[in-house]
Amino acid sequence: MQGVIVVQPIVYIDLGVGGMTCDDCVRKVTDTLESVPGVNRASVDLEGRSAVVEASPEVGPEALTDAVRAARPYNAFVRRVRTSRDG
């Protein structure tokens, strides 16, 4: 019997993130993003004031920025949405 390969589509959402000052902030923003349903992984960059979020296409970018905003004092905007890691 052959195995079934399920290809899960993924989008990459680039965020600008404001208000982070230290690694603790990076952890908080990462946890916040990864707790949004549909998000697989978030990598947050303190220096670049940004985050790349891997998520299923159903995840609306506004859900991500709303979550970051709710985790005061952080704030975020959507820089772009990509369909591939390099695109």
The residue ranges that bind other proteins (CB under 8 A) are 15-19, 49-50, 65, 75-79
Beta strand extents in 5-58 (DSSP E only): 11-18, 39-45, 50-55
Q: Of 28 and 49, which CB lies nearer to other proteins in the complex structure?
A: 49
Minimum distance from CB of 34 to other proteins (Å)? 18
Minimum distance from CB of 38 to other proteins (Å)? 20
Please answer whether residues 33 and 50 qualify as being in contact, where contact means their C-beta atoms are separated by less than 8 angstroms: no
Q: Of 7 and 28, which CB lies nearer to other proteins in the complex structure?
A: 28
**Number of residues in the chain:** 87
Spell out the residues 6+ positions from residue 30 whose beta carbon is closer than 8 angstroms to its own: 42, 43, 44, 51
Question: Residue type at 32?
Answer: T
Q: Of 39 and 76, which CB lies nearer to other proteins in the complex structure?
A: 76
Minimum distance from CB of 39 to other proteins (Å)? 18
